[in-house]
Chains A and B, each alone.
Chain A
Amino acid sequence: MSEESGPVGGEQSGAVATASPQARALLVSPEGLVPRPRDVGGARRLVPTLRLLYRQASANFAALLLVAIALAVVAVFHNGGLTLMGQQIRNALVLGAIYALVAIGYTMVYGIIELINFAHGDVFTLSGFYAIIFADRLHLDQLSTKGFGGLILALAILFVMSMIAAGLTGMAIERVAYRRLRDAPRLAPLITAIGVSFLIEGFMLVFFGPDNVATHKATWITGQAFSLGGISVGWKDIFVVGMALLLMFGLGAFVRTTRLGKAMRSTAQDRAAALLCGININRTISVTFFIGSALAAAAAIIYSINYGDLKWNLGFRLGIIAFTAAVLGGIGNIVGAGIGGFLIGIIYVFGGSLAGGEWSEALIFAVLVLILTFKPVGLFGVDVASRA
């Protein structure tokens, strides 16, 4: 019944002045205090209509988004045919794979301790620099040129070492900066995360310089895998998307089947109950940070192989976009983050192709605002209220 807002105190004076005679009669008379939606002026119908629209948009957000994306894809097809559409899909998947891996790190940390780890994007960049150092010290660049076996070995060594190094970095950050603030008001760890972000960026700026740093990895995987009507798909593209999917499914399996995975899920669901069940909360959270940062390292290596150079401030922007992907998918939901990453990649590329490169980032953040307005839990998120 009380969907419509009846005339209340402060609103009356303005409302009285502008309302129709019928409305005014209702407003000033005692009976007017009881809302009568049927006879009021047009202005009064606006709010309920908006509310209805809002509800519809929220309920169907996923569908609306997919329709919008489909329209964009069709528009690009119209502009440039199958070739352009195919090329942009390829570009979108490659970009989306990187965003997906970084977004998973954000979502895992948020799911377990409800912290938006702003330093995550910088851990991504930092692990890219770790990879440069490892490849340099262990002569992996040379190893990668020694046939297919050499390449696989070089990649394996690089991935394992960088992921471990990044994982340890993530664990260290959690231990030093976030653990003490676990029960502090939410703003405190958030500000700390921003502080850690600046710290890492400063460190990279000092040690690696302000310019693009060549990673020498863009030459590791080259060559065209196949060509479909003008769309050239390289081995690199297959590697990027394939590796990302492999890691995501691997993580999914880990979370579903292992004890640690179960511990992570239960800690995310209800920390007190998990503690009561005998789960070591500190260890579980440390593992979460380790895995999230390791995935960021994998993303950084994939980024280096695909693009070739890194810059100290790369993680900042990429991190915010990956965070948007995590929110889009439903923050706290790993599958959502993965899918969100690919969706953001599509929005970025197709938006840029249609509206011009200057709109790519604007569209991403518009999507962020829309998601937070209409469906804050994200596409795959569970309504927090219902959990309690």
Chain B
Amino acid sequence: MHRTAASLSFAAIAGLGLVSACGTSTGTSSSSGGAGLAGCHGTITVATDLPLTGGDATDGPFPQMAAALAVEQANTAKTLGGCTLKYVSKDDSSVLKNGHDPAQGAQNITALASDPSVVGVVGPFNSSVALAEIPKATANHLALISPSNTNPCLTAVVAVCSDPTIKIDTASLYQGPHTYFRVIASDVQQGEILAFIASHELMKTKAYVIDDQEAYGRGLALLFAKYFAADGGTVVTQTSLPGSTTTFATQMSDAQSKGADIIFFGGTTGNGCGLVRRDMGAAGLTIPLLGGDGCQDTKFITDANSGANTSEAEGAQATSAPDVTKLSSSAKLFTDYAARYASLPAPYNDGTKEPYTAYGYDAMNILIQAIKAVITNNGNQPPSDSMAFRDAVVAQLHNTSYDGALGHTGFDSNGDTTNTGFTLYKVVSGAWTGVHTYAVDTSGNVSVKS
């Protein structure tokens, strides 16, 4: 009797000791690497899929390097405790397209999805690539967070999605659960804001609209046209030109003849935004050029100034993701970025030179935070089943509430960010300078935020 009781109590005490020794301490600290996560074992792979070469070489590397920095910082700070993050960078550009290539992007996602240790991807940069990647990602339950896709049809059905030249069937993109998110507001808002700028700020009434025949550019141009007409303006011409067009002289003469007082270009610089500006100068057009975030980069200025008038770029305007460099929340990112990439040639050593740096950074950090939450809820171990892990990460992403370089980000049920707004930039003295930041509410009323 005594021995049994004694051995029982001994066993109990020993058991308690064992439990406290190998059990995890429940939610000790919210800072990175709670004592329990230290017991985490394994390598979790995260990736980026962005255009790094070709005509997009001035766009993709910034968010890519910011995302890589986020992974490095997470590993240094042991955010996942004993688990480490492995980072893989994929390039979705091809020589054939001289830049982003949807086929290459789809290939990259398929390759990443077939690797069971990959639980999330930050990318793609271009909406046209997203069209090819979302089906592959959703079919494999793989989280895909874009830092820059603004085509609205990627997450929800809007009127322009049935336009014959866009023809995006949103439903058919989702071959599985909804695993696509974006940390940037969509083109519906960008179009509303652009139309507001053209009609109320610049007071223009006759717009000549050109697009580059790609999903992003065409979508933005159509949305601009729709909201500009709703604001009382007239679209005198709506025309599409392929991205390989080298001269817009015909269109400039037409614009002059039709008495257009503003030219809108929906598309990327790689597809001719700067060349339009150059040809405006050649034709002697002094009316404003307005573009979307695809035009708002350094290459636009170089292209626009390559004609007879070497300061033709002056005065061109484009909206883009809000000037993150002005936010106090982003200061630390840019300091860290500059320190980490100081050895690179300009402009790559300065994160403020491209608008999507902070978007890539926050997208990756949001992914890492979701992974951490999954691990913590799974007894501080990564789930052994790859599919279950991915599903859990996606579920966590839907509940995101993150404060980072962009401010506060959350996702709605469609995967769109709750952090909306666009900044208008103008070329002043050879560089893009922020003018105002605009926000638009759900009923389409645009207001100046700052």
Proximity string of chain B (29-72) to chain A, C-beta cutoff 8 Å, 1 when within and 0 when not: 00000000000000000000000011101100000000000000
Q: A214 is contacted by which of B246, B253, B306 (Cβ under 8 Å)? A: B306
**Known contacts A215-B306, A219-B310; A356/B258 CB under 8 A:** no
Pairwise interchain contact A219-B308, C-beta atoms closer than 8 A: yes
Pairwise interchain contact B306-A358, C-beta atoms closer than 8 A: no
A122 contacts partner chain B, Cβ-Cβ < 8 Å: no
Provide the residues of chain B in CB contact with A218, threshold 8 Å.
Answer: 306-308
Pairwise interchain contact B253-A91, C-beta atoms closer than 8 A: yes
Provide the residues of chain A in CB contact with B248, threshold 8 Å.
Answer: 357
A114 contacts partner chain B, Cβ-Cβ < 8 Å: no
Residue of B nearest to A236 (CB): B308
B278 contacts partner chain A, Cβ-Cβ < 8 Å: yes
Pairwise interchain contact A352-B213, C-beta atoms closer than 8 A: no
- CB contacts under 8 Å to A, within B253-307, are 253-254, 256-258, 270, 274-275, 278, 283-284, 299, 302-303, 305-307
**Known contacts A91-B249, A222-B308, A357-B245; A210/B257 CB under 8 A:** no
B240 contacts partner chain A, Cβ-Cβ < 8 Å: yes
B241 contacts partner chain A, Cβ-Cβ < 8 Å: yes
Once bound together, how far apart are the Cα atoms of A313 and B394, in whole Å? Answer: 41
Proximity string of chain A (81-102) to chain B, C-beta cutoff 8 Å, 1 when within and 0 when not: 1011001100100110000000
Provide the residues of chain B in CB contact with A317, threshold 8 Å.
Answer: 244
Pairwise interchain contact B307-A80, C-beta atoms closer than 8 A: no
Proximity string of chain A (204-245) to chain B, C-beta cutoff 8 Å, 1 when within and 0 when not: 010000111011001100100000000010001000000000
B250 contacts partner chain A, Cβ-Cβ < 8 Å: yes
Pairwise interchain contact B306-A308, C-beta atoms closer than 8 A: yes
From B237, B248, B254, B310, name the one whose CB has the most chain A CB atoms within 10 angstroms: B254
Pairwise interchain contact B308-A352, C-beta atoms closer than 8 A: no
Q: B257 is contacted by which of A84, A219, A311 (Cβ under 8 Å)? A: A84
Provide the residues of chain A in CB contact with B254, threshold 8 Å.
Answer: 80, 84, 353
Pairwise interchain contact A88-B213, C-beta atoms closer than 8 A: no
Pairwise interchain contact A309-B99, C-beta atoms closer than 8 A: no
Residue of A nearest to B303 (CB): A212
Minimum CB–CB distance from B386 to chain A (whole Å) comes to 36
**Known contacts A80-B258, A81-B257, A358-B213; A210/B239 CB under 8 A:** no
Pairwise interchain contact A357-B244, C-beta atoms closer than 8 A: no
B247 contacts partner chain A, Cβ-Cβ < 8 Å: yes
Once bound together, how far apart are the Cα atoms of A215 and B242, in whole Å? Answer: 23
Provide the residues of chain A in CB contact with B278, threshold 8 Å.
Answer: 307-309
Minimum CB–CB distance from B212 to chain A (whole Å) comes to 10
- CB contacts under 8 Å to B, within A164-208, are 205
B173 contacts partner chain A, Cβ-Cβ < 8 Å: no
Once bound together, how far apart are the Cα atoms of A62 and B86, in whole Å? Answer: 67
Pairwise interchain contact B246-A314, C-beta atoms closer than 8 A: yes
Minimum CB–CB distance from A385 to chain B (whole Å) comes to 38
Minimum CB–CB distance from B415 to chain A (whole Å) comes to 32
Minimum CB–CB distance from B445 to chain A (whole Å) comes to 33
B binding-site residues for A, Cβ under 8 Å: 53-55, 57-58, 95, 98-99, 210, 213, 237, 239-242, 244-251, 253-254, 256-258, 270, 274-275, 278, 283-284, 299, 302-303, 305-308, 310
- Provide 17 A-B residue pairs closer than 8 Å at the C-beta atoms, listed in order of the A residue: A79-B257, A80-B258, A87-B283, A210-B99, A211-B55, A211-B58, A218-B308, A219-B310, A307-B307, A308-B306, A309-B278, A314-B246, A318-B246, A348-B250, A357-B210, A357-B239, A357-B245
Which 4 residue pairs spanning A and B have beta carbons closest together? A80-B257, A84-B257, A87-B253, A357-B241
A binding-site residues for B, Cβ under 8 Å: 79-81, 83-84, 87-88, 91, 94-95, 205, 210-212, 214-215, 218-219, 222, 232, 236, 307-309, 311-314, 317-318, 348-349, 352-353, 356-358, 360-361
List 6 extra interface pairs beyond A349-B249, A353-B250, CB under 8 A.
Answer: A84-B257, A211-B302, A212-B275, A311-B246, A353-B253, A357-B240
